[in-house]
Amino acid sequence: MPDLPTVCVIGAGSSGIAAAKALHERGIPFHCFEKSDQVGGNWVFGNRNGMSSAYRSLHINTSRERMEYSDFPMPKSYPDFPHHTHIAEYFNDYVDRFGVRDRIVFETGVEQARRDDDGVWTVTLDNGDTRSYDALAVANGHHWDPRWPEPAFPGEFNGKQMHAHYYVDNEDFRDKNVLVVGIGNSAMDIAVESSFVARNTFLSSRRGAYILPKYLFGRPLDQIGVNSLTGRLPWGFRQAILSTMYRVGVGKVQDYGLPEPDHKLGDAHPTISADFLNRIAHGEMTWKPNLTRLDGDRVVFEDGSSEEIDIIVYCTGYKVTFPFLDEDFVSAPDNDLPLFRRVFKPGVDNLAFIGLLQPLGAIMPLAEAQGRWLASYLRGEYRLPPLPEMEADIRAERDRMFRRYVASKRHTMQVDFDNYLYELGKELKAGAARARAVGFALPVAARARAGEAAPA
Ligand SMILES: Cc1cc2nc3c(=O)[nH]c(=O)nc-3n(C[C@H](O)[C@H](O)[C@H](O)COP(=O)(O)OP(=O)(O)OC[C@H]3O[C@@H](n4cnc5c(N)ncnc54)[C@H](O)[C@@H]3O)c2cc1C
Ligand SMILES: NC(=O)c1ccc[n+]([C@@H]2O[C@H](COP(=O)([O-])OP(=O)(O)OC[C@H]3O[C@@H](n4cnc5c(N)ncnc54)[C@H](OP(=O)(O)O)[C@@H]3O)[C@@H](O)[C@H]2O)c1
């Protein structure tokens, strides 16, 4: 076996550790650099990297069984929708269980990763060191760089404006008039918490949403059988089943005081909350259309109404950014970065993204599958399709996605969980045949300075 290429993994959140474990198991030399002093990224509340968007009360909204890695079940003692402390503990246990902790270089950020003319990556660390690697695996997360409203709402505001990324708990909301902007999952959790202590809570959104319960018919929503049939049932058929179940189990959101969604169920990233509709039904919060302007102590809405507001919480999503990459080489304007099956950038054979997708379901098992895919690729056991085929595949996938989903910066990398795994399984088989045809030649040669990555 020729020398295997060395890999730099950026980030030890749930995506980075899954990739690191796959490389470790397959004997591929690598370093995984992590800014923080611990693994888990977003799930470390108060993470010293300043990048976690977790708040004190955060629970997962994908169920335990959807989120767990395929070979490391979450403890049965965990509830169906565990707290962030459980999830952080789970990721910690994962790296210990698979012997990956020693392979992570903590408290070391990657400042710059530059692909040289010969393809080798020169990586500059925040301690001033420079290293060379044959391949780069980017797992820096995509829910840490707050996206404020663009453009900002016109007018002056006398109160406090904050983004969901900085929300910790509802203490500051006590007896205040709070306006939450957006109708994604951050908006759900924060509006509900606000409604228990604020004088008034308003939620403003520019469209309606189907608020999905965490349980339907006594089971976590994402554990209901119809999901696992994805690869075999067309989406339209599943959508009809899910819509019927929603009508029977929940009803119409209009009956709770929300606007009718301008799309079908499943054509937007799922907004999940067990409590939001109840709080509206209890009269503890009020829906408002989008803002038109800020006016001193008041906020004016599209229907011409205005409210006196003390605090605005913008739950307007996150930007996908890679501060360590040359923007001209790779960037995601408006969160859009076309990739082959959300991992490989056509034409760059030694760059992979892990966990850079928005599944209907959890990210972790998909990042795990991507890590394994990357390891097979680097060992020459899988070969990418020719460039035109990859580009055609990306085009087809994007056409499908943009046709289905509401036009929004939050819908640029949507995948159906089961469908993604099913299709990836087929692609792995096709890629294995291509690899066999070229005698399992390594697609990325080991050229970076030897001995720099930790031995496998
Ligand atoms: C409030 C909230 C709740 C969520 N709930 C769910 C859920 O229930 N289920 C679900 O599937 N997803 C959920 N998500 C999505 C979330 O993105 C994933 O859960 C998960 O955190 C993705 O893991 P990651 O490793 O890709 O990114 P992160 O968790 O963000 O980890 C990235 C890691 O990379 C490190 N890093 C970044 N840049 C550098 C650098 N330059 N050098 C070195 N290290 C670096 C960071 O320090 C961090 O540890 C939620 C997101 C938010 C904001
Ligand atoms: N409990 C949990 O597990 C939990 C909690 C929070 C977040 N999350 C996850 O974290 C990720 C981010 O969620 P998020 O809710 O923070 O962001 P998000 O899903 O991107 O939602 C952003 C919301 O803000 C709206 N918006 C954006 N720009 C706007 C503008 N200029 N004016 C008015 N509205 C605007 C969007 O509306 P449009 O649709 O019209 O663009 C959307 O409703 C998601 O994956 C989510 O599932 C999970």
The predicted structure's pLDDT at residue 434 = 98
The predicted structure's pLDDT at residue 455 = 44
Tens of pLDDT along 27-58? 999 999 999 999 999 999 999 999 999 999 99
The predicted structure's pLDDT at residue 226 = 59
Give residue 315 CA to ligand 2 midpoint distance, Å: 6
Could you give the CA distance from residue 321 to residue 332 in angstroms, rounded to a whole number? 7
Q: pLDDT over 90 for what percent of the chain?
A: 91
- Cα→Cα distances 124→50, 132, 456, Å: 20, 9, 22
Q: Which atom of ligand 1 is nearest to the CA of 14?
A: 25
For 64, phi then psi, to 5°, come to -50, -45
* This model's pTM is above 0.95: yes
Q: How far is CA 128 from the centre of its chain?
A: 30
Q: pLDDT over 70 for what percent of the chain?
A: 96
Residue ID of nearest Cα to ligand 2 atom 41: 408
Q: Averaged over 321-330, what is the pLDDT?
A: 97
- Identify the nearest ligand to the CA of 272 by its number: 2
| Half-sphere CA count of 443, side-chain side, radius 13 A | 26
**C-beta of residue 19 within 8 angstroms of C-beta of residue 109:** no
Give residue 304 CA to ligand 1 midpoint distance, Å: 39
Q: Averaged over 83-87, what is the pLDDT?
A: 98
- Identify the nearest ligand to the CA of 288 by its number: 2
Residue ID of nearest Cα to ligand 1 atom 38: 140
The predicted structure's pLDDT at residue 228 = 57
Could you give the CA distance from residue 14 to residue 67 in angstroms, rounded to a whole number? 10
Q: Which atom of ligand 2 is nearest to the CA of 314?
A: 24
* Strand 298-301 relative to strand 145-146, pairing: unpaired
Q: Averaged over 101-119, what is the pLDDT?
A: 97
pLDDT exceeds cutoff 90 at 234: no
The predicted structure's pLDDT at residue 238 = 87
Beta bridge partners of 133: 121
**Cβ within 8 Å of residue 235, ≥6 positions away:** 266, 404, 416
Give residue 374 CA to ligand 1 midpoint distance, Å: 19
pLDDT exceeds cutoff 60 at 453: no
Q: Averaged over 187-210, what is the pLDDT?
A: 98
Q: 38 CB less than 6 Å from ligand 1? A: no
- Identify the nearest ligand to the CA of 185 by its number: 2
| Half-sphere CA count of 355, side-chain side, radius 13 A | 29
DSSP structural state of residue 340: B
**C-beta of residue 285 within 8 angstroms of C-beta of residue 309:** no
**C-beta of residue 63 within 8 angstroms of C-beta of residue 222:** yes
The predicted structure's pLDDT at residue 224 = 81
Give residue 24 CA to ligand 2 midpoint distance, Å: 35
Q: Averaged over 130-147, what is the pLDDT?
A: 98
* Strand 200-204 relative to strand 177-181, pairing: parallel
Beta bridge partners of 30: 7, 454
Could you give the CA distance from residue 105 to residue 119 in angstroms, rounded to a whole number? 24
What are 240's two structure tokens?
A: 């009809």
Q: 324 CB less than 6 Å from ligand 1? A: yes
Q: Averaged over 396-410, what is the pLDDT?
A: 96
Ligand 2-lining residues (CB < 6 angstroms): 58-61, 143, 149-150, 164, 181-187, 189, 205-207, 269, 290, 315-318, 358, 406, 408, 410
- The best mutation among 52, 363, 416 to test binding of ligand 1, ranked by most ligand atoms within 8 Å of the C-beta, falls on 363
The predicted structure's pLDDT at residue 456 = 42
Please state, rounded to an integer, the average pLDDT across all residues of the chain.
Answer: 95
pLDDT-based confidence at residue 133 (cuts at 50, 70, 90): very high
**C-beta of residue 389 within 8 angstroms of C-beta of residue 411:** no
Check the CA dihedral 448-449-450-456 and report its sign.
Answer: negative
The predicted structure's pLDDT at residue 233 = 78
Q: Averaged over 296-314, what is the pLDDT?
A: 98
Residue type for 248, please? V
Cβ-count burial of 407 within 10 angstroms (0-12 exposed, 13-18 middle, 19+ buried)? exposed
Could you give the CA distance from residue 86 to residue 248 in angstroms, rounded to a whole number? 33
**C-beta of residue 298 within 8 angstroms of C-beta of residue 177:** no
What are 327's two structure tokens?
A: 């923007």
- Residue 138, classed as helix, strand or coil, is strand
Q: Distance between terminal CA atoms of the chain? A: 14
The predicted structure's pLDDT at residue 40 = 98
Give residue 268 CA to ligand 2 midpoint distance, Å: 11
Beta bridge partners of 122: 114, 132
**Residue 57 or residue 225, greater confidence:** 57
Q: Which has the minimum average pLDDT: 157-166, 245-254, 380-389?
A: 245-254
**Cβ within 8 Å of residue 137, ≥6 positions away:** 7, 8, 9, 10, 16, 19, 23, 30, 352, 353, 354, 374
**Cβ within 8 Å of residue 262, ≥6 positions away:** 207, 208, 406
DSSP secondary structure, 209-243, as one string: --EE-SEETTEEGGGSGGGGGTTTS-HHHHHHHHH
Q: 418 CB less than 6 Å from ligand 1? A: no
Could you give the CA distance from residue 310 to residue 112 in angstroms, rounded to a whole number? 41
pLDDT exceeds cutoff 90 at 117: yes
Beta bridge partners of 353: 138
